[in-house]
C-alpha cells in the first residue's frame, strides 16, 4: 500500500490548525528545523506542534517557551511525514500513544472524550522534516499575566486568544516527503506518566525491528537488544527512510 493510500484525502472538520511557539522573531525564520538526533536523551528529531481542534481549543496546554504563538495551516497534515502523540512524550513513537496519517481520526475521537472530562491536555504533532514558514498563517503575541488575570476576572478562561475557526492558506502540502517511524525509544522519557500509561509490547518492538532494518536477523532478539540495534542504526535509517516497510506498521494498527 502506498503512502498516499495510507494518508488522509481531506482534513476532518474537527481540525482547526497547528500551533508552534517560539522566542524568536518569526520574520527572521525561513523554516522550522528538526531538532538534532543526539544520543537519544532529549526527543524525537522533528519539528513540534500542538494540534488544535474544535474540542480541545480551550483545554489544550500551549507550550510556554516563547512569546510568539505561530498558527500554521492544518493542510500540513495531508503530508505523510509526521506522527501525533495523544500525550506529550518528547515525540517518541510508542504503541499506545502514537497515531499516524492513516488512523488520525482515532486520536480526534480520543481528544473529544478528554474534552468531555474537562481535562487539560498536551498533545504533540511531530514533523520529520523542516517546515517552511510559507505555511505560517498568523502570529499571536502570548498574553501577559496581567492580561490573563483581567480575563479571568471577567469569567473568561482557557485559550481565549486562539482563533475559533479553521485558519489556513493556499500553499499546498508537499506530498513527496517520506516519514521516519523507526524511533521507538519511549523508555528514555523522564517526564510525568499518566495513570493509564503502559509500555509498548514486545510484539510492537518486533514489528519495528522488521520494519526498520533492511535485512533483519531471522532470530528476533529480545526487547532490550531491539532497542539497542535501532538506536545504533537510527541515523542511517532516517537517511534511507524510503526503505522502511511501512505496511508492517500499518497492518499492526489494523490487526
Over residues 50-74, the pLDDT tens digits come to 999 999 998 899 988 889 999 999 9
**The pLDDT of residue 148:** 75
Residue 54 falls inside a structural domain: yes
Q: Is residue 215 part of a domain?
A: no
Domain that holds residue 113: 3-184
Cα 163 to the chain's mean position, in Å? 21
| Residue 222 maps to a domain | no
Determine, yes or no, domain membership for 232: no
Q: DSSP states of the chain as a string?
A: --HHHHS-SS--TTEEEEEEEESS-GGG-SEE-PPP--SSSS--SSEEEEEEETTTTTTBPPP-S-SEEEEE-GGGGGSSSEEEESS-STT---TTTEE-GGGHHHHHHHHHHHHHTT--B--EEEESS-EEGGGEEEEEEPPPHHHHHHHHHTT--SSTTS-SS----SPPP-TTPPP------GGG--SPPPTT--PPPHHHHHHHHHHH-SS--SS---HHHHHHHHHHHHHHHHHTGGGS-HHHHHHHHT-
Does this model's pTM top 0.95? no
Q: For residue 51, what pLDDT is reported?
A: 98
In a domain, 37, yes or no: yes
Q: Is residue 198 part of a domain?
A: no
- Each residue of 9-30: pLDDT tens digit? 889 999 999 999 999 999 999 9
Any domain includes 69? yes
The confidence score (pLDDT) of residue 176 equals: 96
pLDDT confidence band for 136 (50 / 70 / 90): very high
Greatest alpha-carbon span in the chain:
65
Q: Does residue 21 form part of some domain?
A: yes
Q: How many domains does the chain have?
A: 1
The residue among 4 and 215 whose pLDDT is bigger is 215
Give residue 39's pLDDT band: very low, low, confident or very high (50, 70, 90).
low
Quote the mean pLDDT of the chain: 89
Amino acid at each position: 500500500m502506498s503512502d498516499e493510500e495510507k494518508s488522509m484525502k481531506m482534513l476532518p472538520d474537527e481540525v482547526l490548525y497547528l500551533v508552534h511557539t517560539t522566542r524568536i522573531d518569526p520574520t527572521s525564520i525561513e523554516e522550522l528545523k528538526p531538532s538534532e538526533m543526539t544520543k537519544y536523551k532529549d526527543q524525537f528529531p522533528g519539528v513540534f506542534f500542538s494540534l488544535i481542534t474544535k474540542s480541545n481549543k480551550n483545554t489544550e496546554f500551549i507550550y510556554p517557551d516563547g512569546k510568539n504563538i505561530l498558527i500554521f495551516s492544518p493542510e500540513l497534515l495531508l503530508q505523510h511525514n509526521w506522527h501525533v502523540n495523544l500525550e506529550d512524550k518528547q515525540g517518541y513513537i510508542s504503541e499506545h500513544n502514537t497515531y499516524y496519517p492513516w488512523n488520525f481520526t482515532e486520536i480526534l475521537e480520543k481528544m473529544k472524550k478528554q474534552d468531555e472530562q474537562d481535562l487539560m491536555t498536551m498533545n504533540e504533532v511531530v514533523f520529520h522534516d523542516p517546515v517552511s514558514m510559507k505555511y505560517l498563517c498568523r502570529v499571536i503575541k502570548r498574553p501577559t499575566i496581567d492580561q490573563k488575570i483581567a480575563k479571568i476576572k471577567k469569567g473568561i478562561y482557557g485559550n481565549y486568544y486562539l482563533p475559533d475557526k479553521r485558519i489556513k492558506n493556499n500553499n499546498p502540502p508537499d506530498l513527496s516527503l517520506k516519514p521516519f517511524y523507526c524511533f521507538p525509544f519511549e523508555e528514555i522519557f523522564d517526564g510525568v506518566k499518566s495513570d493509564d500509561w503502559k509500555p509498548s509490547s514486545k510484539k510492537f518492538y518486533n514489528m519495528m525491528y522488521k520494519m526498520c532494518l533492511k535485512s533483519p536477523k531471522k532470530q528476533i532478539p529480545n526487547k532490550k537488544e531491539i532497542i539497542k540495534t535501532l538506536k545504533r542504526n537510527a541515523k542511517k535509517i532516517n537517511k534511507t527512510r524510503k526503505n522502511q516497510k511501512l505496511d508492517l506498521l500499518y497492518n499492526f494498527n489494523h490487526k
